[in-house]
């Protein structure tokens, strides 16, 4: 969608906040019903979304690009069975929506299939970092002749690399999120950050090639030591 006029933008943002309020009301009604049924203390609630949204940031609307506004989503896991001291905590660990599958299965005491790509987040509920990801791959391929340029990229805890893949718009972006949280200073092509760009490009290429080969069992051979070696921490 294109916000062609201020009136259209205002109507869209008002609708967005109306939906947020509606979801809050629905979750509240669900929790009240669980209380009425006597199930509230044995029901785990997972609250998330499928994508973020641009509301004018970077001049964009919609959800299609690799900036934080688009790829970050809410994730709240409420487990009333946890000790009081373990509740209400916030983790900075990076997670993906594919992690919800093994997480829900583990909460239900079920074993995930062997080729499950996600990682259970249950350890994070108990303050263990074993579910943390050092980096991950994202992509969005748009089929309509470059109207919305297709892109792929890599996100680490500190760095982000975006590579636009359409022939009509070959372009790269590199951001140091520790210094530029709003992603307004593109560092791609600057000699000072050549090492980081080279390392992230290599990770992107290997991940992309693996996906094209349908290698579902492949995992990136990277950990915190690798990232530190490549200047990405």
Q: Is residue 83 part of a domain?
A: no
Does residue 59 register a pLDDT over 50? yes
Task: Return phi, psi of residue 109, to 5°.
Answer: 60, 40
**138 and 128 housed in the same domain:** no
**185 and 147 housed in the same domain:** yes
Rounded Cα distance, 193 and 174, in Å:
9
Residue 116: which domain range?
91-132
**178 and 121 housed in the same domain:** no
Provide the domain count of the chain: 3
**138 and 233 housed in the same domain:** yes
**105 and 36 housed in the same domain:** no
Q: Is residue 86 part of a domain?
A: no
- Which of 103, 107, 96, 133 is CA-nearest to residue 121? 103
Rounded Cα distance, 68 and 77, in Å:
21
Q: How far is CA 93 from the centre of its chain?
A: 11
Q: Is residue 116 part of a domain?
A: yes
**100 and 145 housed in the same domain:** no
Last residue of a domain, one of 100, 132, 164: 132
Q: Is residue 84 part of a domain?
A: no
Does residue 16 register a pLDDT over 80? yes
**173 and 222 housed in the same domain:** yes
**143 and 233 housed in the same domain:** yes
Residues forming a β-bridge with 173: 162
**150 and 71 housed in the same domain:** no
Q: Is residue 85 part of a domain?
A: no
Cβ-count burial 178-188 (b if 16+ within 10 Å, e if not): eeeeebeeebb
- Which of 221, 163, 164, 165 is CA-nearest to residue 197? 163
Does residue 233 register a pLDDT over 90? no
Q: Is residue 233 part of a domain?
A: yes
CATH of residue 176's domain is: 3.30.1120.10
- CA terminus-to-terminus distance, the chain: 36
Neighbour tally for 155: CB within 10 Å: 22
Q: How far is CA 167 from the centre of its chain?
A: 26
What predicted TM-score, i.e. pTM, was given to this entire model? 0.86
Q: Give the mean model confidence (pLDDT) for residues 53-71.
A: 89
- Which of 145, 186, 143 is CA-nearest to residue 163? 186
Q: Could you report the per-residue pLDDT of 191-232, keeping only the tens digit for each? A: 999 999 999 999 999 888 887 777 655 566 677 788 888 888
> Are the C-beta atoms of residues 121 and 103 closer than 8 Å to each other?
yes
Residues 6+ apart with CB under 8 A from 224: 134, 233
Rounded Cα distance, 45 and 75, in Å:
10
Q: Is residue 158 part of a domain?
A: yes
**43 and 96 housed in the same domain:** no
Q: Is residue 165 part of a domain?
A: yes
Does residue 1 register a pLDDT over 50? no
Neighbour tally for 162: CB within 10 Å: 23
Rounded Cα distance, 27 and 11, in Å:
25
**183 and 218 housed in the same domain:** yes
**126 and 183 housed in the same domain:** no
Give the tokens for residue 44: 């785990």
């Amino acid at each position: 969608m294109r916000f062609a006029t201020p009136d259209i933008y205002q109507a869209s943002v008002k609708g967005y906040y109306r939906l947020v309020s509606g979801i809050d009301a629905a979750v509240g009604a669900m929790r009240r019903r669980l209380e009425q049924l006597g199930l509230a203390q044995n029901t785990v609630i997972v609250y998330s979304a499928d994508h973020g949204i641009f509301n004018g940031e970077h001049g964009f609307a919609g959800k299609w690009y690799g900036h934080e506004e688009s790829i970050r989503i809410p994730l709240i896991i409420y487990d009333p069975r946890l000790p009081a001291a373990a509740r209400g905590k916030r983790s900075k660990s990076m997670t993906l929506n594919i992690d919800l599958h093994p997480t829900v299965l583990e909460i239900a005491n079920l074993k995930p299939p062997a080729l499950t790509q996600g990682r259970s987040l249950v350890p994070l509920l108990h303050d263990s970092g074993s579910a943390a990801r050092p980096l991950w791959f994202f992509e969005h391929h748009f089929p309509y002749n470059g109207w919305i340029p297709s892109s792929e990229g890599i996100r680490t805890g500190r760095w982000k690399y975006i590579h636009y893949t359409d022939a009509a718009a070959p372009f790269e972006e590199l951001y140091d999120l520790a210094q530029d949280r709003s992603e307004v200073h593109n560092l791609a092509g600057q000699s000072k950050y050549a090492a980081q760009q080279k390392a992230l490009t290599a990770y992107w290429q290997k991940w992309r090639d693996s996906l094209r080969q349908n290698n579902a069992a492949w995992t990136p051979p990277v950990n915190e030591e690798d990232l530190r070696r490549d200047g990405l921490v």
